[in-house]
Amino acid sequence: MFSTALLEALPKTDLHVHLDGSLRLSTLIELARERGVALPSQSEQGLRDTVFRETYDSLSSYLAGFAYTGAVLQDAEALERVAYELAWDNLNEGVRYVEVRFAPQLHMHGGFGYEQVLSAVNAGLARAQAEHQAACAPGEPPFRYGLIVCALRMFQPGFSAVYRQLCEALSESDSMALYGEAALQLVRAAVRLRDEQGLPIVAFDLAGHEAGFPASHFAGAFDFAHESFLKKTVHAGEAYGAESIYQAISDLHADRIGHGYHLFSADKVGPGVTDGQRYCEDLAEYIADRRITIEVCITSNLQTNPDIGGVQNHAFRKMLERNLSATLCTDNRLVSHTTVTREYQLATAAFAMTEKQLRNTIIYGFKRSFFPGTYAEKRAYVRQVIDFYEHVWDSHNLS
């Protein structure tokens, strides 16, 4: 068993954290008051009781809170503030590298487009990075970050001005073309802003309901990302079976998989597969061999899949047993009431993780990050992290 003090002190990553799911409750209340957004309660406890609960009975109830967080994140000041606070919330628990993901199109409206949204988020993270670097002790790894832009498998057209414009251009029967076109517009903008404005946009993501919205409909957007040397991570195997993970890898060139919980769920393999167990085992071996990293979000999975029953039943156990490249993430710090440290507390206790397993899981996060720099710079940074990890480990064991 590892102490909370040690887990907090060790350098960590969060490769899967959604900006709009990770606000401070106090900030949400303040922003809503300033922007005239109605909330179910004006107190933090009231919001915990009505919206951001410890447990949820379904994915829809889990997602309900995003209507409120999204409503207050419609201007540069709010986006910059939330990004800045998220950086420091991570830093205050020892997280040294974070990849913040969000769907820019959900924050866009007339005169406030891709560049304004992404620049505002970047400004908040950059300010926190500069503050931390100014106070960083010699040999201590500085805070670094990357931006991941999320396309959506489906959406409510009335939520965003961008989507409303697309709806006017395409008929209802072309709904999948609508989603694919929105994704293509997004990735083109992301690559342009990366290349022309120097924004640290490190990857392209696909989020949203997997069932009924297969990866193949987004192949064009991910082909563009691939051709533009923009890395790819895809939400897959969260609420659907292993075939969704395979589609993410084969159709969308995924470098990493978000969640991947159902990698070993033979009962969720479709009727076209004759041997579900063999299919899952073969896919797991393929992922292991290619070192395709899985972004594991234990608390979030327990909340959106109540049938799991408990941490000890989570598929991360099998990932550890097979030595897969997997690292722990929060998904949504607010909606899931969690931190990176808490995710490691849960995992180390439930799976009796060894020192080596803990170290590997943490270091995988740094090694398999989409670091916003050259490969040589990334290697130097990872080496600095490993040296600092060993220093912290030795210091806590000697105390």
Tens of pLDDT, residue by residue over 325-353, are 999 999 999 999 999 999 999 999 999 99
Cβ-count burial of 59 within 10 angstroms (0-12 exposed, 13-18 middle, 19+ buried)?
Answer: middle
Q: pLDDT tens-digit profile of 36-91?
A: 999 999 999 999 999 999 888 877 788 889 999 999 999 999 999 999 999 999 99
Question: Taking 90 as the threshold, does the pLDDT of residue 251 lie above it?
Answer: yes
Predicted TM-score (pTM) of the model is 0.94
Q: What percent of the chain has pLDDT over 90?
A: 80
The per-residue pLDDT for 24 is: 98
Enumerate the domain spans of the chain. Answer: 4-398
- Judged against a pLDDT cut of 90, whether residue 237 lies above it is answered with no
pLDDT band at 174 (very low <50, low <70, confident <90, very high): low
What average pLDDT score do residues 265-291 get?
Answer: 92
Q: Can you give the pLDDT at residue 178? A: 80
Position with higher pLDDT, 166 vs 247: 247
Q: Are 24 and 89 in contact (CB under 8 A)?
A: yes
Given this model, what pLDDT does residue 165 score?
56
With 0-12 / 13-18 / 19 or more C-beta atoms within 10 angstroms meaning exposed / middle / buried, residue 157 is middle
Range 309-334 average pLDDT: 97
pLDDT tier for residue 154 given thresholds of 50, 70 and 90 = confident
CATH fold label, 4-398:
TIM Barrel (3.20.20)
Helix or strand or coil: residue 236? strand
**CA-to-CA distance for 358 and 383, rounded, in angstroms?**
17
Average pLDDT of the segment spanning 247-272: 93
Question: What is the pLDDT, as a whole number, of residue 158?
Answer: 47
Question: What integer pLDDT is reported at residue 78 of this predicted model?
Answer: 98
Q: Active-site residue numbers?
A: 238
- At 399, the pLDDT band (50, 70, 90 cuts) reads low
- DSSP class per residue in 254-289: -SEEEE-GGGG-GGGS-TT-S-HHHHHHHHHHHHHH
160 burial type by CB count under 10 A (0-12 exposed, 13-18 middle, 19+ buried): buried
What's the average model confidence in pLDDT over 318-331?
Answer: 97
Q: Who wins on pLDDT, 108 or 161?
A: 108
